[in-house]
Amino acid sequence: MGNISVKYENYVAHVVMNRPPANALAQSVLREIAEVFHHLESNENVRAILLYGEGRFFSAGADIKEFVQIKQQGTLNELANIGQDVFETIESFPKPVIAAIHGAALGGGLELAMACHIRLVAENAKLGLPELQLGLVPGFGGTQRLPRYVGRAKAFEMLFTSDPILGSEAVKTGLANHAYPEEDLLNQAKALAEKIVLKSPLAIKVAIELVNVSKTAAFYDGIQKEAQAFHELFQSKDAGEGIQAFIEKRKPQFKGE
């Protein structure tokens, strides 16, 4: 694909955005991301996805120049719908998605990162939602996901001021999981992905579903679903292998069954 490349290594798919100079999320890029994830979902040799940007940035956001054309065509709703659909696909994706953020993740770039299950950042990376500077609000889920990670007060501050925060602060606020020197970021992200793929793909899929249930379900409903999922997984071949491997003090060989 023109703006997205995919490399495979040890059950990990490296999804790399490459649209110089800033990996801006034009509609064409969003559609490519959607197509890539569609193919990765059915690829049994992929157990985790590592998403990052080529060049200086993770993604500096939407393609602002494209906004003029979209406004003339009256298709702004279509753009928002595309972005929200793609990011919801990522958030509910049945395989772990890790974002490795360097340079900047701004606007739509941060919204993309927030849809991923785990975010690793360079200590000097800049993360923010500057849409209010344009007289706009985030359109790809930013106002909904940001408060879930940083709380309402910090979300309001970031939105109202449009000021980005550094990767080191993003960890303190809960927006990112870990921060590393930029030169070490990708190696750390690879190591995490390769650790995750050793787990049962079936159990991971269910864990993602259950955590996402917590977004909207009442607590009692959520724990009921969890209990049901535990019972069903207990009957799986992966659970049998995991328990037997623990008893035999060896590493389990999960097959996602």
Is 169 tagged catalytic?
no
* Catalytic residue, candidates 91, 111, 183, 194: 111
Question: What does the alpha-carbon distance between residue 90 and residue 188 come to, in Å, rounded to a whole number?
Answer: 21
Using CA atoms, how far residue 156 sits from 87, 162, 175, 235, in Å, is: 22, 10, 14, 46
- Give the alpha-carbon dihedral of 194, 198, 203, 204, to 10 degrees: 0
121 vs 169: CA distance, rounded Å: 10
Q: Among residues 32, 91, 123, 131, which one is catalytic?
A: 131
Residue 51, phi then psi, degrees to nearest 5 = -110, 125
Whether the CB-CB separation of 86 and 28 falls below 8 Å is answered with no
Q: Is 182 a catalytic residue?
A: no
CA dihedral 252, 210, 90, 57 (to 10 degrees): -80
Let me know if 177 is exposed, middle or buried by CB neighbors in 10 A (0-12, 13-18, 19+): middle
Query: 89, 69 in Cβ contact below 8 A?
Result: no
Closest CA to 86 of 39, 33, 49: 33
Rounded to an integer, what distance in angstroms lies between the CA atom of residue 144 and that of residue 111?
10
In whole angstroms, give the CA distance from residue 66 to residue 60.
14
User: So which residues are the catalytic ones?
Assistant: 111, 131
